[in-house]
Protein backbone atom coordinates (compact mmCIF):
# COMPACT_ATOMS: atom_id res chain seq x y z
CA UNK A 1 0.00 0.00 0.00
CA UNK A 2 1.38 3.38 -1.02
CA UNK A 3 0.95 6.14 1.57
CA UNK A 4 1.34 9.68 0.31
CA UNK A 5 4.00 11.87 1.87
CA UNK A 6 2.93 14.85 4.00
CA UNK A 7 2.19 17.93 1.90
CA UNK A 8 4.00 21.19 2.54
CA UNK A 9 0.70 22.60 3.76
CA UNK A 10 0.35 19.79 6.32
CA UNK A 11 3.90 20.37 7.55
CA UNK A 12 3.25 24.10 7.93
CA UNK A 13 -0.02 23.52 9.78
CA UNK A 14 1.64 21.05 12.15
CA UNK A 15 4.41 23.55 12.89
CA UNK A 16 1.82 26.31 13.43
CA UNK A 17 -0.08 24.15 15.95
CA UNK A 18 3.06 23.79 18.07
CA UNK A 19 5.83 21.42 19.08
CA UNK A 20 3.43 19.03 20.84
CA UNK A 21 1.99 18.02 17.46
CA UNK A 22 3.53 15.62 14.98
CA UNK A 23 2.69 14.04 11.64
CA UNK A 24 2.11 10.31 11.71
CA UNK A 25 0.29 7.59 9.79
CA UNK A 26 -3.01 6.29 11.18
CA UNK A 27 -5.19 3.92 9.15
CA UNK A 28 -2.95 4.38 6.10
CA UNK A 29 -3.38 8.18 6.09
CA UNK A 30 -1.07 10.99 7.07
CA UNK A 31 -2.58 12.87 10.02
CA UNK A 32 -1.53 15.44 12.59
CA UNK A 33 -1.45 13.89 16.05
CA UNK A 34 -1.04 14.97 19.66
CA UNK A 35 -0.95 12.82 22.78
CA UNK A 36 -2.24 14.91 25.68
CA UNK A 37 -0.50 12.63 28.18
CA UNK A 38 -3.64 12.00 30.24
CA UNK A 39 -5.17 9.06 28.38
CA UNK A 40 -6.53 11.29 25.63
CA UNK A 41 -5.11 12.07 22.22
CA UNK A 42 -6.10 14.10 19.19
CA UNK A 43 -6.07 13.14 15.52
CA UNK A 44 -6.52 15.76 12.80
CA UNK A 45 -7.30 14.30 9.38
CA UNK A 46 -8.07 15.71 5.97
CA UNK A 47 -5.20 18.19 5.96
CA UNK A 48 -2.69 16.36 3.76
CA UNK A 49 -3.68 18.52 0.84
CA UNK A 50 -2.57 21.50 -1.19
CA UNK A 51 -5.98 23.13 -0.83
CA UNK A 52 -6.63 25.58 1.99
CA UNK A 53 -10.35 25.15 1.33
CA UNK A 54 -10.48 21.47 2.28
CA UNK A 55 -12.09 20.95 5.67
CA UNK A 56 -10.64 18.83 8.45
CA UNK A 57 -12.04 16.29 10.86
CA UNK A 58 -10.75 16.21 14.44
CA UNK A 59 -11.05 13.10 16.60
CA UNK A 60 -10.62 12.96 20.38
CA UNK A 61 -9.59 9.47 21.48
CA UNK A 62 -9.60 7.94 24.97
CA UNK A 63 -7.11 5.19 25.82
CA UNK A 64 -6.11 5.05 22.14
CA UNK A 65 -9.07 2.84 21.26
CA UNK A 66 -12.29 4.75 21.99
CA UNK A 67 -13.28 7.71 19.82
CA UNK A 68 -15.29 9.92 22.16
CA UNK A 69 -15.64 13.19 20.25
CA UNK A 70 -15.59 14.06 16.55
CA UNK A 71 -15.62 17.57 15.07
CA UNK A 72 -16.37 17.49 11.33
CA UNK A 73 -15.94 19.98 8.50
CA UNK A 74 -13.61 22.33 10.35
CA UNK A 75 -12.20 25.09 8.10
CA UNK A 76 -8.40 25.21 8.03
CA UNK A 77 -8.29 28.54 9.88
CA UNK A 78 -10.36 27.09 12.77
CA UNK A 79 -8.30 23.94 13.40
CA UNK A 80 -6.16 25.50 16.14
CA UNK A 81 -9.22 26.73 18.07
CA UNK A 82 -10.93 23.34 17.89
CA UNK A 83 -7.76 21.47 18.83
CA UNK A 84 -7.48 23.65 21.93
CA UNK A 85 -11.18 23.18 22.72
CA UNK A 86 -10.74 19.40 22.55
CA UNK A 87 -7.62 19.60 24.75
CA UNK A 88 -9.57 21.55 27.37
CA UNK A 89 -12.45 19.09 27.04
CA UNK A 90 -10.06 16.18 27.65
CA UNK A 91 -8.67 17.88 30.76
CA UNK A 92 -12.15 18.40 32.21
CA UNK A 93 -13.45 14.85 31.76
CA UNK A 94 -13.78 12.77 34.92
CA UNK A 95 -14.24 8.97 35.14
CA UNK A 96 -17.89 9.41 36.15
CA UNK A 97 -18.54 11.26 32.85
CA UNK A 98 -18.32 7.94 30.98
CA UNK A 99 -21.13 5.43 30.56
CA UNK A 100 -20.53 1.73 31.05
CA UNK A 101 -19.45 1.38 27.41
CA UNK A 102 -16.74 4.04 27.67
CA UNK A 103 -18.55 6.86 25.88
CA UNK A 104 -19.39 10.27 27.31
CA UNK A 105 -22.80 10.37 28.95
CA UNK A 106 -25.41 12.86 27.80
CA UNK A 107 -23.33 14.36 24.99
CA UNK A 108 -23.46 14.28 21.24
CA UNK A 109 -20.38 12.47 20.03
CA UNK A 110 -20.22 14.27 16.68
CA UNK A 111 -20.15 18.05 16.25
CA UNK A 112 -20.66 19.55 12.78
CA UNK A 113 -19.00 22.90 12.19
CA UNK A 114 -21.70 23.76 9.62
CA UNK A 115 -24.32 23.58 12.37
CA UNK A 116 -22.90 26.76 13.88
CA UNK A 117 -20.74 25.05 16.49
CA UNK A 118 -18.29 27.36 18.23
CA UNK A 119 -15.02 26.40 19.89
CA UNK A 120 -14.88 29.45 22.14
* Residue 111 confidence (pLDDT): 84
User: What is the C-alpha to C-alpha distance for residues 1 and 64, in angstroms, rounded to an integer?
Assistant: 24
Query: Would you place residue 119 in the very low, low, confident or very high pLDDT band (cuts 50, 70, 90)?
Result: low
List the domain range (segments joined by +) for residue 96: 8-115
What's the burial of 3, exposed, middle or buried (CB within 10 Å: 0-12/13-18/19+)?
A: exposed
Q: What are 84-95's pLDDT values in tens digits?
A: 999 999 999 999
pTM reported for the whole predicted model: 0.90
* Residue 1 confidence (pLDDT): 66
- 26 vs 108 pLDDT, higher one: 26
Q: Across residues 20-35, what is the average pLDDT? A: 94
Q: Does the pLDDT value for residue 65 go beyond 90?
A: no
- Helix 79-92 and helix 8-17: axis angle, to 10°? 50
Number of domains in the chain: 1
- The answer to whether residue 1 is domain-embedded is no
Amino acid sequence: MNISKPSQHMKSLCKELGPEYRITVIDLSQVIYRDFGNGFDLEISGVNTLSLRKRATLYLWHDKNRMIKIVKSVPQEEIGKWAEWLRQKAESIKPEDFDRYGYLKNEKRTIFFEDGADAS
